[in-house]
Structure 1
Amino acid sequence: MDTQNIIPDQSIALFVKNIMVFENKSNVETIIPFFADGYPGLLFHQTEAGLTIQPHGKKMPIIFLYGQTIKPITIDLNGPFKIIIFQFYPFVLRAFWEINPEDINDNCYDLNNRPGTKLNELITEILSSPTIQEKVIIISKFLISYFEQKRNKLDFSIKGVIQFIIDKKGTVPIKEIAKKEKLHIRTLERRFLKETGISAKQFAKIVQFQSSLTQLTTNDFREISEIVYTNGFSDQSHFIRVFKAFTGVTPHTFGKR
């Protein structure tokens, strides 16, 4: 399987964090694991046998939105495929599609539910485009149309909080963020939950986990204690507890895979 990350064009960079591409030309079974990363998104797939989300056993439409992935999942496929995922900053779903983000945590949203989307035309155009680059451009234009209509509904204050948490790798206390933003902590928590579907504390924990996961998977450490303290965990037990909550296994077991 070939994978790549595409830096979003400037026209969508305000609300798209990253574009991931997965391709396989072989007639084999493929299982792609996904863990909490803090970002909802839009997924398009071009497959011969469809795409199934496990452990839900759910066969997915060709293009769909997904919410916060908190519990670990896998994407299961058979045969050749192309998958394109647009990762959104988590303040987008409510403004663009008038979805309560919390309603689709660990779940998906079929864009066919949106009146006037012209989804069949969009899918036909994407499928008929021969290259990944062309498909990405088509989906980007689709998203730009939402941005142009809905930009006034975006909560840019929460966008700033999200970016600050990312920059600090999830280690900054939420009360410090509230002070920086000149907001009462309960006001910040309420607005953050409303716009993203998770609390600011939960998002920070996910960002912290992802930083530790990257360090673990790239073998950028000599001892587990380096991961613990580099990523701001109070001790090794705290790190193991958080890691297991998001992956289902301990760091030691995960590292053996």
Structure 2
Amino acid sequence: MKTQVITPHPSVAGYVSNIVVIENNNIYREAVLPLIANGYPSITFQVTDTGLLLNSQKNMDSLVLYGQNTKPIELFTCGYVVIIAYFLYPHMLKALFGIDAKELTNISIDLNFFESARSISLKEQLLNAITLDKRLQLMNGYILKLAERYKPGINNTIAFATRTIQKNKGLVSLTHVQEELFVTERTLQRMFELHVGVSPKTFSRICQFHSALQQLSQNQFTEMTDVAFENGYADQSHLIRSFKEFTNYTPLEYLKSASEFPQ
């Protein structure tokens, strides 16, 4: 499996945090690639040999918008696989798509549901494109089209709030964030539900979990208790409960599961 993390083109860097591309043409059995909560909604293009999937109900749309997810989402793959995921900044759903972010929490929608993608046959263009560069150009063009349509739709207050929470790996006081923005607790709650899709507290917990997940995935630890304490968990049991909530696995079970994905 070949995985690339691509820096977004400057033209879309204000909307897209990062781009992840996964390619594999050696999966001879069905495999499940989980999408785990990381605080970012995404536009994901996927090509796989759906005809090889054992359960037809697992056939997936090839171009999907994912909102914030607090539960793992399973991508079923088999045979030739290409996945291009554009991870949007947390506050971008409302700005780019003009809908309340809460409506998309733990939900995925075929992008053809939106006239903005359907009118330019984006899915068909991506499926017909031969090279990765061409597909990235198409995705970039679509992002810019959305940005132009809803400009100026970015809420700077919620952008600051999400940036502050992410920078502090979810461990910043929400009262401090409210004071910095001169807003009440209820106002901050409403803004997060409208623009991000989850409460400020839940978003903070996702950021905290994601920080721990990155440390584990990069094998930057000796003891599990070190990961717990370095990421603000009270103890190892607290870390394990968080992992089970967001992945359905304990940390060690998750690492074992991830290592079994075909290479």
Query: Under a length normalisation based on structure 1, what TM-score does the superposition of the two structures give?
Result: 0.91
Letter in 1 for 2:176: E
| Offset, 1:48 | 3.1
Partner residue, 2:11: 11
**Residues 104-139 of structure 1 deviation map (CA, whole Å, 9 limit, x = unaligned):** 222112222223544563233323332112211111
Contact 1:50 1:77 (8 Å CA) reproduced: no
User: What is the letter of the counterpart of residue 4 of structure 1?
Assistant: Q
Q: CA deviation at 1:209?
A: 0.3
Does the CA contact (< 8 Å) of 2:40 and 2:87 recur in 1?
yes
> 1:36, 1:206 within 8 Å by CA — same for their partners in 2?
yes
Distance in 1 (CA, whole Å) between partners of 2:161 and 2:251 is 29
Q: Tell me which residue corresponds to 1:69.
A: 69
RMSD: 2.1
Structure 1: 5+ residue stretches without partners? none
How far did 1:251 drift? 2.1
Cα distance in 1 for residues equivalent to 2:153 and 2:203: 21
Distance in 2, Cα, partners of 1:77 & 1:148: 34
Normalised by the size of structure 2, how large is the TM-score? 0.89
Q: Which residue of 2 aligns with 1:200?
A: 200
What one-letter code is carried by the residue in structure 1 that aligns with 2:20? M
Show the counterpart of 1:91: 91
Any idea what SS the aligned residue of 2:50 has?
coil
Gaps of 5+ in 2: 258-263
Q: Secondary structure in 2 aligned to 1:80?
A: strand
Matched with 1:153 is: 153
- Asked if the contact 1:101–1:197 (Cα under 8 Å) also holds between the matched residues in 2, the reply is yes
Give yes or no for contact 1:45–1:51 (8 Å, CA) kept in 2.
no
Shift of the 116–23 alpha-carbon distance from structure 1 to 2, 3 Å rule, reads: closer
Aligned-residue offset at 1:27: 5.1
How many residues are matched? 254
Report the residue type matching 2:23 in the other structure.
E
Separation of aligned partners in 2, 1:25 and 1:58: 19
C-alpha change, 1:23 and 1:206, in structure 2 (3 Å) is same
Aligned residue for 1:221, secondary structure, equals: coil
Percent of pairs identical after alignment? 34
Deviation at 1:95, TM superposition (A): 2.4
Seen in structure 2, the aligned counterparts of structure 1 residues 73 and 113 have a Cα distance that, compared at 3 Å, is: closer
Deviations 1:182-207 (A, max 9, x none): 22222112111111110111111101
The CA distance in 2 between the partners of 1:159 and 1:51, in whole Å, is 42
Q: Deviations over 1:112-167 (max 9, x none)?
A: 22235445632333233321122111110111011122121221210111111111
Q: Which stretch of the first structure deviates more once superposed, 206-215 or 67-76? A: 67-76
Cα contact 2:228–2:235 (8 A) shared by 1: yes
Residue 11 of structure 1 aligns to a residue in which SS? coil
CA–CA distance in 1 between the matches of 2:184 and 2:116? 39
Q: Superposed, which structure 2 residues align to 1:78-227 within 5 Å?
A: 78-115=78-115, 117-119=117-119, 121-227=121-227
| TM-fit CA distance, 1:50 | 6.5
> 1:183 & 1:45 partners in 2: Cα distance?
40
Structure 1 contact 51–76 (Cα < 8 Å) conserved: no
